[in-house]
Amino acid sequence: MRKLREVVVVEGRYDKNALSQVVDAVILETAGFGVFNDRQKQALLRTMAEKRGLIVLTDPDGAGFVIRNFIRSCVPAAQVKHAYIPDRSGKERRKKKASKEGKLGVEGMRPETLLDALVRAGATFEVEAPGGDAAEPITKTDLFAKGLSGGEHSREKRLALIRLLDLPEHLSANALLDVLNALMSREEFIALDLPYPPRRGEE
């Protein structure tokens, strides 16, 4: 599986599932039109765009283009690439009926079609260094060691880190891991001085 430098933006979780079978990348969902009123998600998109660049991959229908145009309005154009899938009539297997426009969305595309769309958009594929000396990622074990998961005050500590990095408060531990790996190296994470909330009696 090819590793992608840019963060890919899709509409929903089924699109994310389909794309995650094609590339190793951080994939963010807009929750359809949900991103329009989600200022934290908008801030996350701007942060990721500045750090890694975005590739927007939405369905080829009118709603998909409305979402693209919204992202254009809140993220600098130089930090965004747009990947397009072809117009193909059909219905995804999980759906009882076709979409309003009768077009297949991202989740209904073949893997090679999704990969081709990313390549044509100018996606940056990272090449592993000779000898396998790829950068070591931040892992769930690292989150645990920092007290960000599996502990009594893990949720409060995650929230403190999320606020420090100006990220959406509802990020799960797994989503936070993806974002952290996009924003910093493992060495930077380990050296991070986390602003843990005070315990009772320490305020």
pLDDT recorded at residue 89: 83
DSSP, res 23: E
**Among 9-18, 71-80, 124-133, which is the least confidently predicted range?**
124-133
Q: How buried is 88 (Cβ within 10 angstroms: 0-12 exposed, 13-18 middle, 19+ buried)?
A: middle
Domain boundaries, the chain: 2-126, 136-191
- Inform me whether the pLDDT recorded for 201 exceeds 50: no
- Inform me whether the pLDDT recorded for 44 exceeds 80: yes
Model confidence, pTM: 0.78
- Inform me whether the pLDDT recorded for 58 exceeds 50: yes
**Site of tokens 């073949």:** 110
Reported as a pLDDT band with limits 50, 70 and 90, residue 195 is low
- Inform me whether the pLDDT recorded for 133 exceeds 70: no
pLDDT tens sequence across 92-108: 777 767 777 788 899 99
C-alpha count within 13 angstroms, C-beta hemisphere, residue 22:
21
CB pairs under 8 A, 24+ apart, for 143-151?
143/173, 143/176, 143/177, 146/189, 146/192, 146/194, 147/194, 147/196, 148/173, 148/176, 148/194, 149/173
Bridge partner residues of 55 (DSSP): 8, 81
Average confidence score pLDDT of the chain? 86
Q: Which CATH code for domain 2-126?
A: 3.40.1360.10
- Inform me whether the pLDDT recorded for 114 exceeds 90: yes
pLDDT tens sequence across 159-184: 888 888 877 777 777 788 888 888 88
3-state SS assignment for residue 56: strand
Reported as a pLDDT band with limits 50, 70 and 90, residue 203 is very low
Query: Which amino acid type is present at position 16?
Result: K
Cα separation, 98 vs 124, in Å, equals 33
The more confidently predicted of residues 159 and 58 is: 58
Give every CB contact of residue 112 below 8 A, 6+ residues apart in sequence: none
